[in-house]
Amino acid sequence: MPQARPRPRAGPSPSRPRASRRGLASARLSPSWLWRCRAGIGARGWGGIATLWLRLSRARPRPRLRPRLRARLLPGPAEDTRGAAAPAASSAAASPARAPPLGSAAAGPEPPVSRSDGDARAGAVALKCVPRDRVRHWGELPDGARAPLEIVLLDKVSTGFRGVIRLLEWVELPSSFLLVLERPERCQGLSGLLAERRFLPEEEARGLFGQVLEAVRHCTSCGVLHRDIKPENILLDLATRQLKLIDFGCGAFLQDTACTQFAGTLLYSPPEWIHHHRYHGEAATIWSLGLLLYHLVVGKHPFRRGQEIIWGRILFPRWLSPECQNVLKRCLSMQPLDRPSLEELFSAPWLQGVHVP
């Protein structure tokens, strides 16, 4: 007879082995997060569990959204707090017609990006976008069209003179104005040149400063005041060494009465503005020219703080010639009446025989 198999003892039946919840959770977590969970449980108890649970929920990978494409202007030489400038190279584009007057239906949404006109080189222009809500002053062009004052001033000074950046075209957009400006193919801002070399030899600085004086005299003869002369607003053509005055966003028409509203860079403001909050355009221009010359030959601003401007203390390095120091002292005089005029600056001994390209 076959032997009877022994019956199993009474008791709970053994359950099938299955993965615990802890095993499933640990299988989904990376080793670094698993270590953090164990450390949190041991150190903070249930509070650590809740904190880590929140961290894990936030650390879940989110679906990557496709970035929205937006039109962007490339960085350019002319910058202003009222807009942004951008160079563009597209000589193959068609030459645009003159911008239509404001409010006309002919002003389309597609702006022109290039033009070869006069001595401006084909394929190298700069685009400057001026938002409409940043325009504070308006003017009238010779054809009767109403436009931002910067466009009106550029239209007066940018033709027939190489020392001022040329306004090739301008276009009115729904929310801004687009200025098409000339741009030499190989150019550099004067501020970038000073950043590389710190300061310039006196002879080289004399030639560049003479060009700036010529540009300022041209603007003054046209009845235009720049009001923001500084290295950042001067462009150097590396091929011809020709300087160009740019960015007339702070400019105004020349007037005989004193200005009671300041426009430009406060670090270049004259002392009479600090004392009395008023200044005359020509005297303030001579002051800014003196600051520019000091920056060229010394490599820094002579007045770092407002108190230094009030005291009027100017330190000159030993390598500067007495003639150059004399020009600086006259331009940076604390009293506006003691500063020379533009014509007197041209007749200074230090500026005689300056070669202008």
Amino acid at 175: S
Inter-CA distances, 135 with 76, 130, 157, 250, Å: 20, 8, 20, 11
The residue whose two tokens read 């027939």 is 160
> What is the C-alpha separation between 317 and 325, in angstroms, rounded?
9
CA distance 336 to 259: 13
As a whole number of angstroms, the distance between CA 145 and CA 147 comes to: 6
Rounded to 10 deg, the angle between the 281-298 and 202-221 helix axes is 160
Q: Where are the beta strands (DSSP E) in 19-161?
A: 84-88, 125-131, 138-140, 146-148
In whole angstroms, give the CA distance from residue 255 to residue 283. 12
Q: DSSP letters along 141-205, please? A: -TTS-EEEHHHHHHHHHSSS-TTB--EEEEEE-SSEEEEEEE--SSEEEHHHHHHHHSS--HHHH
Phi, psi of 160 (to 5 degrees): 80, 10
Q: Which one from 80, 228, 237, 247 is the annotated catalytic residue?
A: 228
80 among known catalytic residues: no
Could you give the residue numbers annotated as active site? Answer: 228
